[in-house]
Every structure is written in C-alpha cells, then in structure tokens.
Copies of this chain bind each other. A is one copy, B any other.
C-alpha cells in the first residue's frame, strides 16, 4: 500500500495507545505488537464507551495494560515516559449521549485530551501523537464529499469537543514542539466494536441485529448515504500517519467505500445473514435534531501524501464482521 516500512518504524519502539481496549485502539495495539513495538495501553473502561478487555485477549501477554483515566496524571505520566508514539483514541463517541450528558462528553473528549497533552509536554515532549477525530466535526455537509477545507460547524456537542481536542493537538504542537497528526474518521466497522446499544452509530447496531437474525430498523427513508471503513484499514492509516514524517502536524480525512444508503447497507447485511430482515421506522426526535443527512468524505489528501486507501470491500468486510459476532456475541452483549 505504501512506501513506508512499518516494521522499521515501530520495531523496538515504545508506543502508548489510549483507549487501547476499545474497538479501534485494540486493533492498533495488536498491529503494533506484531510489528515488534513495546505496547502500552491505557483505558478507563468508561461504561458505554466501547472498552472491552476481550478485544486484546489474544495478545494480552504482550501488552502492558493500565486501567486508568487520562485525567489521572499519576497513572499516565509513567506510561508516557519513553514513548515515541502516542495513538490517542480514548474518547466518548456517541453523538446522542453527548446531547443528553454534555458534561460527561466534556470530561471524556475535552478535559481528558488536555490532560494527555499536558502529560506529553511533561514526559514525552518529542512524541508523535496521532489523534483520531471524526467526520462529525464538519457538521451538516455544505458539499460532498467532505474535504479537509470544509468548514467545521459541529451539529452536536460531541463534534464541538472533538474539534476542540483537534485544536489542542495543534496548539501543543506549535507551542511545545510535539508532533500531532489528526485523522478524521468516517463510519468504522469490524470485529471488536461496541454493539451493546445503538447510541454509538448505526453500523455496530445493524451488525448485531443481523448477526442475531433479527430485524434491522432503518430510520427515516433510509436514503441517507454514508461511507464506511473496515477497522483494519483504519488501523493501517493510523500506523502510516505515525510513521510518515511528511504528515507532521497535518489533518486528514479517512473516507471509505463508495457511499451506500442505509437501506442498501441494511439489505446487504440481511443478504449475508440468514433469518435477518430490515424495515423503515420514523426518526426519533433526539436523533432528528442532530442528524446531518448524507455524509461522506474524500480521502484524496491522505492518499496523495501517504498512499493510503481503503482496501477491504464492504461485502467482504461485513461478512467477516458478521462471522466474528456470531462467534463472540456473548463477549459484547
């Protein structure tokens, strides 16, 4: 995929993954283990945020795991000392929850990030930090696909905080010499995602219902289009961003498959899941308030600079994901 030799970049290096028991963080941690890095994970296991020790069960003995909050300097500082790389994935990702509990979102997505950067300043001033932001910082799209120049006008509290955290990373890089790369993720799916409740986005919930052979409820007319990334492609993007000097302090969209409508996605999941079905239901008020309509992103910039592009097709990726949840649903319910 790229000229970058990831093994040379990470073998023997120490890397800290925040939110490393979570969905994407655990995939990054596992990849780093395989690349020969010394991997440290910090995860607060905040209820409903997606952290799940099962996500790292296969590499558990090769990862140093600390269950603690980024706001806890005593726990965080020793993990940062000697870390060349920080993959900063900790956060609260539910847009719905950010509206019902905005102050919790502030703690997990703003204060925690400031605490991490303060700790980097103290203990790892040379670190390269890759921060995972979200397409939601753009708010309701003014044009599609979204590119990095699109104005950031968040349509929910979560988007406002993720944008603030992006800016913290920029400010600390400019003021104190850290390197920080911001990746704005689109909808990510794959093994290890939280599927306990539907508040972290539609995809995990759809996958669970399909794996259980139940009925997927698609809100509205189902014509809203989205792009999706398999988590393995996302993990590759994070590793490339960390390893490539030319990303220094850049901001990049990820972007996924050709956009699909939610009804197309539901139909595909049903096709892959004997017994499952789908139907349309009206939009609940709390979601209608913050829904952004069609939303998908251009990954032209990261393709140009890092050679990254999504490799895993939607049908293949969903089939693998459904197999995973059919086998492991008890670990995620």
Q: Specify which of A103, A159, A163, A175 lies most central, judged by the most chain B CB atoms within 10 Å of its CB.
A: A175
Query: What would 22 A/B residue contacts be, using CB atoms closer than 8 Å?
Result: A102-B168, A103-B111, A103-B115, A106-B106, A106-B111, A106-B114, A110-B110, A114-B157, A151-B151, A152-B152, A153-B167, A154-B167, A155-B174, A157-B171, A159-B167, A160-B167, A163-B164, A163-B167, A164-B164, A174-B289, A175-B289, A176-B289
Using CB atoms, name the residue of chain B closest to A286. Answer: B175
Cα of A40 to Cα of B149 in the assembled complex, Å: 42
Chain A residues touching B, majority SS: helix
Known: A99-B175, A106-B110, A163-B163. 20 other contacts (CB 8 A): A102-B118, A102-B168, A103-B115, A103-B118, A106-B111, A106-B114, A110-B164, A114-B157, A151-B151, A154-B170, A154-B171, A155-B171, A157-B168, A157-B171, A160-B164, A160-B167, A160-B171, A161-B164, A164-B164, A174-B289
Copies in the complex: 2
For A, the interface residue count at a CB cutoff of 8 angstroms equals 31
Q: Specify which of A102, A118, A156 lies most central, judged by the most chain B CB atoms within 10 Å of its CB.
A: A102
